[in-house]
Amino acid sequence: MDVRNNVRNVAIIAHVDHGKTTLVDQLLKQSGVFRANEVVSERVMDSNDLERERGITILAKNTAVMYNDVKINIVDTPGHADFGGEVERILMMVDGVLLLVDAFEGCMPQTRFVLKKALGLGKKPLVVLNKIDRPGARPEEVVDEVLDLFIELGANEDQLEFPVVYASARDGYSSEDPNVREGDMKPLFDAILKNIPAPSGDAEGPMQVLFSNIDYDDYVGRIGIGRVERGHLHMGDSAVLCHRDGTTANVKITKLYQFEGLKRREVEEAQLGDLVAVSGITGLNIGETICSPDRVEPLPFVKIDEPTVSMMFMVNNSPFAGREGKYVTSRNLRDRLFKEVETNVAMRVEETDSPDTFKVSGRGELHLSILIEEMRRQNFEFQVTGPQVIYKEINGKRCEPIELLMIEVPDNYVGAVMEKLGTRKAELVNMSARGNGTTHLEFKIPARGLMGYRQEFLTDTNGNGIMNSVFDSYEPYKGEIIQRAQGSLIVHETGESTGYGLFAAQDRGRLFIGPGVEVYEGMIVGVSPKSDDIVVNICKKKHATNTRASGSDEALKLTPPSTMSLEQCIEFICADELVEVTPSSIRMRKMILSKELRMKQAARKK
């Protein structure tokens, strides 16, 4: 067994917002990757527009730094459970993990989720307590929480002896002492070299590379990112690609790259343990192996968790179809969705009986809404239904996905939260006081019960609550859950909204649009406090008359409309409603636009 001491491969795993990307920024800055006068944006690893806007990591990224003549390959991973498929694959490429935990919040749902995956694959953990400079930080307690979590997840003795480094990624210092508030990242670099195992294997054996990620470049096509598990890899080598279905193909490596800082550098060869990017292999998919033609041995790949939520994507057939988007046909939609599945392993796309409708399944609402937002920015125009959970038949019983929900709220909002979650079939598992006037609640709740709850939660807690959830298990069906008690305000005719029409309609409910907006019959423009839908005429104009009373023309006072984001629209719609998505608009509508046809269908159902 050969060991390469001049390389370390490590992934940074953590809950959302615990500071993974900020920590990578500091490691890059302090290892001299950037020039002294170089202007570097914050969270430099979040390169995608959506990631920068939302402040979350969606795709795993590779980078590498040099420290004491050792090359440290670092992979920044997403924290949301919806992108868990990314985390699971990335762990195949590394030998150890930096488990980042917020010194104030402690262990959260994602901490449990990502740590469970890492321990299951036998990776060596190094715990970093971040944000120790945060007011109310409680490093000693959090270390105990982390230890309890390790024990609960069945860590072995070697994994339980985890080292701890205390850090503030924002201020750029780390230490083995929780009371130090200055310095640099040197103690963390030293801890990585000391505790993360070096890659080992057969350095002189026949070549074998496992690909855990795919990147795409418009000029060179697909780029496989993987790790050299055995032997050497050279540019120009001939190799055998082993597909997951057992078939093989002969391929040639045209270009070979390694990571250096934020760039890919072209190299002639790579050795055991190196993380490499390879171009020129057509038909390469995630989880496949290339081997030396002398010894064809595919490596097993991690089983990715199944999707739990599905939505229907359809060709837009509203009266405004084709006005704003560039790609509007079913062929455009089909090609784009099937291209997504090639790099997004946790997503599934199925064709349906209708050539214009596709069933897309993912790990959660966020997973699917990010895809919708990306397609919208790429000039696609289409419609989607609301999310539906995916049921499973287990031992003859109909089972549904259950989420573990963790909530932190100020004490005076606990009652409101418990009451709402009770109607959504949630079961309280744990409740503890956090000391600073907040309460920590843990529930098990059907995934159906969570849909549409986030907005209510923010309203009920005046924006002071924090909620996070992660998939827990499948359990028998919990019974009917009322998703939305209010009806919709529906447009009566196609036209343009007027201040006069909106003034008359605003007494019927809360509006989503202002004056001067083009609307069509059957479009949803507001929410009614009653359970029934109400048809409103918001296009009517005030007719002039010969005689006017002196006080009849006072200014109309309109209540400002509630603007709905894409996620809010997806959460809001009922089973008979759709969200129409175009590059410049997001509209909600009834599936059946005509009021008469809707009434006929309702009568038939009764």
pLDDT greater than 50 at residue 308: yes
More confident call, 506 vs 218: 506
Most confident of 127-131, 135-139, 259-263, 517-521: 517-521
Q: Which CATH number is 226's domain given?
A: 2.40.30.10
Domain stop point among 143, 171, 200: 200
Q: Residue 47's pLDDT is what? A: 42
**pLDDT reported for residue 312:** 93
pLDDT at res. 188: 84
591/37 Cα distance (integer angstroms): 57
Tokens of 391: 């049921």
The binding site consists of 17-22, 130-133
Per-residue confidence (pLDDT) for residue 34, from 0 to 100: 46
Residue 68 has what DSSP assignment? T
| End-of-domain residue from the set 457, 476, 495 | 476
pLDDT at 33 over 70: no
> What tokens were used for 436?
């600073």
Global model pTM greater than 0.85: no
Domain that holds residue 399: 392-476
CA R_g for the chain: 27
Question: What gap in Å lies between CA 427 and CA 446, rounded to an integer?
Answer: 9
CA distance 484 to 572: 8
The answer on 562 and 510 residing in a single domain is: yes
pLDDT at residue 58, rounded to an integer: 43
Query: Has residue 320 been placed in a domain?
Result: no
* CB contact burial 103-135 (16+ within 10 A = b; e otherwise): bbbbbbbbbbbbbbbbbeeebbbbbbbbbbeee
Q: Is the pLDDT of residue 266 over 50?
A: yes
Which residue ranges make up the annotated binding site for GTP? 17-22, 130-133
Cβ 268 vs Cβ 234: under 8 Å: yes
Give the total number of structural domains in the chain: 4
3-state secondary structure 396-456: CEEEEEEEEEEEEEEHHHHHHHHHHHHHCCCEEEEEEECCCCEEEEEEEEEHHHHCCHHHH
pLDDT given at position 588: 92
Does 91 reside within a domain? yes
Angle between helices 139-152 and 109-120 (to 10 degrees): 50
CA distance 520 to 539: 10
- Summarize pLDDT for 380-397 with one digit per residue, the tens: 999 999 888 889 888 888
Average pLDDT over residues 424-430: 88
Secondary structure (3-state) at 190 = helix
Residue after which a domain boundary falls, among 291, 316, 332: 291
| pLDDT > 90 in the chain, percent | 8
Mean pLDDT over residues 195-218, rounded?
81
Q: Which among 217, 132, 173, 169 is positioned nearest to 43, based on CA atoms?
A: 169
- Which residues 6+ apart lie within 8 Å of 240 measured at CB? 248, 249, 250, 251, 290, 291, 292, 293, 296
Give, in order, the Cα–Cα distances in Å from 53 to each of 43, 56, 57, 386. 11, 8, 10, 24
Residues 46 and 191 in one domain: yes
Does residue 355 lie in a domain region?
no
Query: 409 lies in a domain?
Result: yes
Task: Report pLDDT for 548.
Answer: 59
Residues 438 and 584 in one domain: no
For helices 186-195 and 20-30, what crossing angle results, to 10°?
Answer: 100
State how beta strands 200-201 and 388-389 pair: unpaired
CB 190 within 8 Å of CB 176: no
Q: What is the CATH number of the domain that holds 584?
A: 2.40.50.250
Identify the pLDDT of residue 547.
60
